[in-house]
Structure 1
Amino acid sequence: MRLFIFFLALFVAQCHGRSSMTQSLDGTWVGKETEYWYEFPVTVPGGVYTDLMNVGIFEDVFYGYNDNSSRWAGQINWTYALNFTVDEGLLDRDHVNIVFEGVDTFATIVINNVTVGETSNMFVRYVFDVKPILKAEGNNTIKVFFQSPIERALNLNNKQLEKYVIPWQCPPDEYRGECHINMIRKMQASFSWDWGPAFPSMGLWKPVFLEAYDETRIRHIVTRVSNSEDGESWVVSVDTYFALNEKKRVEGSLNVKINIDFESISKNVEVNETVNTNGELVKSASLVVKKQLVHLWWPNGYGSQPLYEVEVTFASAQASDDVLSKKVKIGFRTVELVQETLDTGATFYFKINGEPIFAKGSNEIPINVLPELGQDRQTIRHLLQSAKDVNMNMLRVWGGGVYESDYFYEVADQLGIMIWQDFMFACSLYPATEEFLSNVVEEVNHNVKRLLHHPSVVVYSGNNENEGVLADNWYGTQDNYDQYKKDYVALYITTVRSELDRISGGQAVFISSSPTNGNLTEKEGWVGSSPGNQYWGDVHFYNYILDPWDSSTYPIPRFCSEYGYQSLPFEDAWMTATNNVSDLQINSKFMDWRQHHPEGNGEMALLIAENLAMPDSSSANYTSAFIYLSEVYTAQAIKVETEHYRRYRSYLTDDGRGKTMGALYWQLNDVWVAPTWSSIDYTGRWKMLHYFAKDFFSHVIVTGHINGARELQIYTVNDNLSPVEDVSVLVRLYKYNSPDFRPVYENRISLNLEAGSSQLIQTIQTDTFLAEQNCDKNSCFFHYVIHKNASLTDTVAISPENYVFPGKLKNSDLALANVQISDVKKSGTKTFVVTVTTDNIALFVWLDSHNVRGTFSENGFLLTQSNRTVTFKSNDDVTLEALKNALSVTHLKDPKYA
């Protein structure tokens, strides 16, 4: 009978439409400098920098020095206003709220001259009751008074100084940033970072709308998927969170349904809930799904990513025609962070669906430093698809940015990109006042409820590097260590972790910081004696002194979640930020302005010179050569480092380091055109590093390095969950100057590749071996590839080609090859075949399509044959002739760089 009444109520509601209403307030508002006269049209969702660009007050703030000339926008107060009429029937509902999905950051909301609320956190949704204030007929007004976040941060810091200082106070001068960002709950990078400008934005960066309902609305669906006790089924726990009402009670019938391939499984439950101790109206229910009815969600490279729709529908007992529904998509998978005790330390790796997964990927910084522009779906799709296309299976959403848009996580679900989700705290200590912690509880509450159902989100981290800030005395923190540690635990453990555990039922994987020593950190009271040591947890590693192409430079950790080197984007990207070619000279005022990393340009020059020969600085092509060589050195350095980590997935050193199971390089994307660590520049172009990632993250690789004893050690790595049998590694030795392209040595090693394993397959005494082949470290190099043996004569490459340079290239006998694009053909919609030819071996061959945007199947490669064919996929429709005219090619010994 209850089920009949429920569906009768649903039918009535669909016929008569008494259910809740919404009225969007997005669109054109009026903006004003609060203390001055100037008014201008603004857009919601949006922000003051974007709005001032749209009306021509600012030129493109990402161009030239405009980040500096526009700086005043963050230093004054702004008002956004809207006149509107209320939709007919909206005020007939019992409850009418105004909802701000995202306010950046400090604002007072006034409607019809009545203050309805204030905001202080850009990461939460604000809901204010406005029914008594709105007029059913005639004009209504909204005014949002924004206060400068710079001013508020300064005021809060001054108040904090009455007790004690909380570092860091201000960024280094080279950041050209603002101070006290750690005092406020705003994108930490909006006050500048070493890869980005200071844009202390304000605005309504997400939608604004009115909502009206009689009894309640559905705010969140929070799901958890776990194994049943007998292991034969999945248990899908569903928590439905309702909007509050004046009775603080919700009554009715709730139908919870999951749509699977050929049927639906549903349950109808009676709702009679009052507000819990956390001020929430929530009803929990669960569904049991036989495992054979659904398919597992897997990370990219391990299987498919099926998603299943969960729908909850609520019929109110108080108003039988008030029916609400909400849907989310889930995946069936399990996540475990494995920290098994070793003789020294412990492991640190992820199991998905019970299988060990080597995490391969990068760190994602904000999609855009202007948060409203970070909602752009095309940019999001491009970045995540680009990650998938180069064999990444994990991205870390870094803690100095924002909790990304719903669409970001939806696409990650679809593509199998696991998300390591930092909470938004980075490189600082933070207050632990009652007011601050209360603000953080709301932040964690809102975002965990928003994200928990996504199968892509596999781990939450309390912060970025803040344990290291305290433990390693970054800012003189030892002077007040006990207080800072107390604040640290209060924030990340008592507050962040507790709220995460409460909402997730303790099922979410949590680490307190990154880097952290995992279980050891917890035993040491949440601040380890040496965060990021190689025997526990994850590490961050940066090197700006030692040879970046020497694998002995690098640690041997359990998991490396940050590592990287700076490079310069190519000229086409730079020319979107300046119209003056002389600005691209490495020592120019403009280049210095864009370089926020202290001593960054000098470090880059030294690291390039470690292995590569630079042309004379007076050469006409010096700037072009420097840019190209910066890309070469970075791509090769990250390749060497990543393969180093992958080699150690199955090995321990004599002192107990190794069993490495993760490599996330810094960083995926950019927020402007500048020298940075990114593999995709601000214009969306793949840098050489991103092309290299496709190879060094390939599921099957052969990799080698020369150790301190001058032994060449050759390894295979197989990340597949099953062995690959009957393969051979073809090892060749080439002379750099080899116009006939014939190797001076060739050998084939037959073997089987073990599942989920790295294997040392050969050790060669390098210098002795080279001498036996009439070579030395400067005249020859090693080259290898894995083949699947279909027959004695028929082989198919199942790994990327790889190589080892026995000596530094700057001292080697490199050939002056004549590399040309010999042919371009169209092979399909937006797809072209490009043939490159050479008269000698050429290194780091780089193809560029310049104004024709798209990606090549491979780039930055070694040309060890007379020709090579690659494909090019254009972003837009383009003629064959246009592509031919756009294409260019260069390489390491290009005569123009001599």
Structure 2
Amino acid sequence: MLTRITTEPLWLLRSLSGPVPEGISGRTFDAPVPGDVHMALRDAGAIPDPFDDDNEHRLSWIGRSDWEYRTTLPRVGGTPERIDVVFHGVDTHATVAIDGAERARLTNMHRTWRVPAPELAAASAELCVALRSPVAAAEAERDRLGARWTVFSSLSPFIRKNACAFGWDWGPSLPGSGIWREVEVEAWSTARLSAVRPTVGLLGADGVVSLDIELERTERTGRDADLGVLVEVGGARTWIPAPARAERLRGELVVRRPELWWPTGMGRAALHELTVTLVDTHGTALDVWTQHIGFRDLVVEQVPDGEGRGFGLTVNGIPLFVRGFNWIPDDTSPARVTASDIRRRIAETLDLGANLLRVWGGGVFESDDFYRACDEAGILVWQDFLFACAAYPEEEPFTTEVEAEARENITRLMSHPSLALWNGNNENLWFWFLHDWEHKLDGATWGEGFYIDLLPRLVAELDPARAYLVGSPSSGGRWDEPNDPSRGIVHWWIPDDYRAYDDVRPRFVSEFGFQGPPARATFDAVVHDASPAPFSPGSVQRQKAEGGTERINDVLDAHFGVPHDFDEWYWLAQLDQARAVRYGIERFRTLEPFCRGTIVWQLNDCWPALSWSMIDVADRYKPVAYAVREAYRPRIVVLRHEDGSPTLFACNSTAEPWDATIDAQRWTRGCHAAGVTLHAHVPAHTAIEVPLGALATGLAGDELLVATVGTTDATDAGDARPVRSVLLGGTDREYPDSAPRFDVQTTPAPDGVVVRLTADTLLRDATLLVDRIDPDAHVDRTLETLLPGESADWHVRTTLPASFTVEAVRAALHTARAATARDDAYRGLAQLEAEKQAAPTG
């Protein structure tokens, strides 16, 4: 039977060469494996936190240095015919030696490497992994092949490493080295299962599992052995013979009427254990592979129509409006992300109302824990291949390495029912047109052969039941205007005000978003400016998008006016992000079924940043998270300006019709002016306009409309909270809010405190920023508009309930109001720009 021994969790680390500071050069450190150099040095106290202040730049020498990991491999008992050291992830260029003898050279972070180690049958041995500087390795390939066009780092296309490690418009440049996934010693005889690929489908009410199995045999007893494979799932079993010398097997079994796997909100994500056992002629098990599969029929529909080409997902015959997020690596050190971290993130994805995560192509193929958690939660996965925002060379060794990593990861992931589709790249086809690569590249390779030939060919061979998209964005063809809203999928990045979402009618949006600051506790923990401001040094260090803070300020000024200090700027920038993303989602949902999905950029952060994230790196919800959760409820109402008049939509993204009763009210200068009760029958998977009757007249700047549905019934996960939409006649800076008056009560709860907020006046977007009271607290609901006399109960999870006094809650409660600066010379946009010009460039 194949046995696996995981190596010791602590190895030894030392520097080999490079600009290593005194005090680190010449020392040996304990190093966790899985782990990386940054983690080991930080754990040893040899370097400061890379996230703090400008340490990103101070620690750039790590990525320019060579490093060595060492450990002792144990002697393997018994008499196995083969002993392999299996590296599940090495970052990135490495030389492997056993007892001083070189055994392998590794050049790809995204694949597994197997290194024979027969000497372990007799004795233990020293394993050494020498890692070359990723910067030097990439520079050498760039110099050999010639530079290519990139959006961010010029090095990322020249090394098969997570591209964002070299910096992105939301993340730092911290390219490192390490052994980022487990290292195991495998001992086996006769044969092992080198690949198991189950294609799972439906035939009527029955489930069908078609198996494609690869064997690796030993020369001594395996090559000529008659073997077999026993396959079991859901009470069904089949036997697949493996005659002598056969290395690829195929078989099929039928499971009668299995419970189906459904995405969240559509049914239960039912899983069934599939076991594949390789046995010899004596019935002895040689190797076992086990995975949980799901029976479901998922179709990616790309159907031409009179307005272009649609794009959408249908699961088990039922259309699905995708409510998704883009996923980036959850830490700059991917090895630091644990299984419990992943499960918490997936639980948060569910909490925010999403049903899909797109694993973005500038990061990594995520861990088995990630896909397993998505399987169990009913979260679909859109999986990019790892190419993003750059022209990639196709010369060797890159084509060989890309094929190897694709083969391995298609095989590893294709059994997961959560995996919805494969996508060839992020934005590279679009950039061919947008940035005139045809002329700039002057005939150099740029990845076209990967996206058009290699990757779709591998998906068709190894995972034939899943769709392959040539890229995101894409209009469905090779050169068909990749970001055409009327065809396929688009990335819709507006240059200015988010009201520009009104100008587009997309079929499916796989990227859009707006920036905002993290929770203030997250910012304050890493930024230590004497006088923090939008362009003070620490703030500039957190902002990686060119012109990002200027764009925040422009939109903030258009909607709210000029903040009078940094605290007001911070809150209004957070609120503006919440408004912008919710506005975009709601605009696109009013187009259903013409538009069939939105994937917001982005769910998570890898460091403390001004970014597009919903949840910051310290696991704190930003106000935008609460806004998106409301916009992602299965049934919502949306008030919008259409052709200068207020317009009401009811959006039903469920499989059942919705008979909605809507209370619509007009308010003038904070006082109720008129109201009407409306009734609407909303078909499944549809958004309709609901006539407003007497309330349809234009709104003045001191007026607003409020539309409320008391409950959306049990299809909204049993959530009976009101569904509400608010529409201003103009902007917040024009609306004459009176001083907010409200009552606060706090009541102890088993794991914290319940805050009851009762409005005496109209409270718009009332938000309790709990991190201002307890940095580790979390509030279940907030960012709510309350009419006079209404109350909201917010449950705060905290270990410091006594800190949530009425006075503390009042101080941490913020509402939407016009900015309060009256002297435009004080911290106006001109001064903010001056601060930016004076800030160090790093």
TM-score in same-fold range (> 0.5): yes
Task: Determine helix, strand or coil for the equivalent of 2:178.
Answer: coil
Task: Determine helix, strand or coil for the equivalent of 1:810.
Answer: coil
* 1:733 paired to 2:719: no
* 1:824 paired to 2:746: yes
In structure 2, distance between residues paired with 1:802 and 1:690 = 16
Correspondence for 2:243 among 249, 272, 278: 272
* 1:665 paired to 2:623: no
Deviation at residue 135 of structure 1 after TM alignment = 6.1
| Structure 2 equivalent of residue 593 of structure 1 | 541
| Structure 2 equivalent of residue 544 of structure 1 | 495
| Structure 1 equivalent of residue 51 of structure 2 | 62
Matches within 5 A, 1:25-424: 25-35=7-17, 37-89=26-78, 92-131=79-118, 133-134=119-120, 136-137=122-123, 139-161=124-146, 165-168=147-150, 171=152, 178-228=153-203, 231-246=204-219, 251-259=226-234, 264-272=235-243, 274=245, 281-291=247-257, 294-317=258-281, 321-374=284-337, 376-424=338-386
Task: Determine helix, strand or coil for the equivalent of 1:367.
Answer: coil
Task: Determine helix, strand or coil for the equivalent of 1:413.
Answer: helix
Task: Determine helix, strand or coil for the equivalent of 2:525.
Answer: coil
Q: Would you say the 8 A contact 1:348–1:538 is kept in 2?
A: yes
In structure 2, distance between residues paired with 1:310 and 1:389 = 30
* 1:575 paired to 2:524: yes
- 1:798–1:777 Cα change, 3 Å: same
* 1:784 paired to 2:707: yes
Q: Would you say the 8 A contact 2:494–2:501 is kept in 1?
A: no
Q: Would you say the 8 A contact 2:148–2:441 is kept in 1?
A: no
In structure 2, distance between residues paired with 1:244 and 1:744 = 81
- 1:683–1:187 Cα change, 3 Å: same
Deviation at residue 637 of structure 1 after TM alignment = 1.1
Q: Would you say the 8 A contact 2:240–2:249 is kept in 1?
A: no
Q: How many residues align?
A: 803
| Structure 1 equivalent of residue 20 of structure 2 | none
Correspondence for 1:460 among 416, 419, 422: 422
2:472 is matched by which residue type in structure 1? S
In structure 2, distance between residues paired with 1:733 and 1:797 = 24
Q: Deviations over 1:618-675 (max 9, x none)?
A: xxxx11111111111111111111111011114xxxxxxxx11011111111111111
- 1:513–1:764 Cα change, 3 Å: farther
Deviation at residue 433 of structure 1 after TM alignment = 1.4
Q: State the identity as a percent.
A: 23
* 1:503 paired to 2:462: yes
- 1:788–1:146 Cα change, 3 Å: closer
Correspondence for 1:714 among 630, 645, 648: 648
1:490 is matched by which residue type in structure 2? G
Mean alpha-carbon deviation: is it higher for 20-29 or for 57-66?
A: 20-29
Q: Deviations over 1:305-339 (max 9, x none)?
A: 1111001112123x754432221001111111111
In structure 2, distance between residues paired with 1:212 and 1:240 = 20
Deviation at residue 444 of structure 1 after TM alignment = 0.6
- 1:468–1:324 Cα change, 3 Å: same
Mean alpha-carbon deviation: is it higher for 141-150 or for 337-346?
A: 337-346
In structure 1, distance between residues paired with 2:566 and 2:341 = 29
In structure 2, distance between residues paired with 1:872 and 1:242 = 55
Deviation at residue 273 of structure 1 after TM alignment = 5.9
1:826 is matched by which residue type in structure 2? P
Mean alpha-carbon deviation: is it higher for 457-466 or for 210-219?
A: 210-219
| Structure 2 equivalent of residue 630 of structure 1 | 573
State the Cα RMSD in Å. Answer: 2.3
| Structure 1 equivalent of residue 839 of structure 2 | none
In structure 1, distance between residues paired with 2:506 and 2:712 = 35
Task: Determine helix, strand or coil for the equivalent of 2:733.
Answer: helix
In structure 2, distance between residues paired with 1:130 and 1:679 = 47
In structure 1, distance between residues paired with 2:818 and 2:775 = 23
Deviation at residue 832 of structure 1 after TM alignment = 3.7
Q: Deviations over 1:576-614 (max 9, x none)?
A: 2134463x3112012112211111111110011111123
| Structure 2 equivalent of residue 24 of structure 1 | 6
Q: Would you say the 8 A contact 2:733–2:817 is kept in 1?
A: no
| Structure 2 equivalent of residue 683 of structure 1 | 618
1:496 is matched by which residue type in structure 2? L
Q: What's the TM-score once normalised by structure 2's chain length? A: 0.91
Q: Would you say the 8 A contact 1:833–1:869 is kept in 2?
A: no
Q: Would you say the 8 A contact 1:422–1:463 is kept in 2?
A: yes
In structure 2, distance between residues paired with 1:387 and 1:320 = 45
Q: Would you say the 8 A contact 1:817–1:894 is kept in 2?
A: no
In structure 1, distance between residues paired with 2:530 and 2:69 = 40
Q: Would you say the 8 A contact 1:26–1:207 is kept in 2?
A: no
Q: Would you say the 8 A contact 1:252–1:270 is kept in 2?
A: yes
Q: Deviations over 1:706-762 (max 9, x none)?
A: 12x31222111111111123x311111123433xxxx21111112322111111111
- 1:494–1:414 Cα change, 3 Å: same
Q: Deviations over 1:483-517 (max 9, x none)?
A: 54xx533212321111121111x211110100000
| Structure 2 equivalent of residue 4 of structure 1 | none
Deviation at residue 248 of structure 1 after TM alignment = 5.2
| Structure 2 equivalent of residue 10 of structure 1 | none
1:358 is matched by which residue type in structure 2? F
Task: Determine helix, strand or coil for the equivalent of 1:592.
Answer: helix
In structure 2, distance between residues paired with 1:789 and 1:384 = 24
Deviation at residue 417 of structure 1 after TM alignment = 1.0
In structure 1, distance between residues paired with 2:751 and 2:666 = 38
- 1:721–1:666 Cα change, 3 Å: same
| Structure 2 equivalent of residue 527 of structure 1 | 479
1:730 is matched by which residue type in structure 2? D
Q: Would you say the 8 A contact 2:157–2:390 is kept in 1?
A: yes
In structure 2, distance between residues paired with 1:581 and 1:380 = 36
Q: Would you say the 8 A contact 2:387–2:424 is kept in 1?
A: yes
Correspondence for 1:560 among 509, 513, 518: 509
Deviation at residue 890 of structure 1 after TM alignment = 1.7
In structure 2, distance between residues paired with 1:250 and 1:502 = 27
Q: Would you say the 8 A contact 2:326–2:602 is kept in 1?
A: yes
* 1:843 paired to 2:764: yes
Q: Would you say the 8 A contact 1:711–1:765 is kept in 2?
A: no
Q: Deviations over 1:50-89 (max 9, x none)?
A: 0110111111111111111111000010011113431433
2:303 is matched by which residue type in structure 1? E
1:57 is matched by which residue type in structure 2? A
Task: Determine helix, strand or coil for the equivalent of 2:650.
Answer: strand
Deviation at residue 268 of structure 1 after TM alignment = 2.1
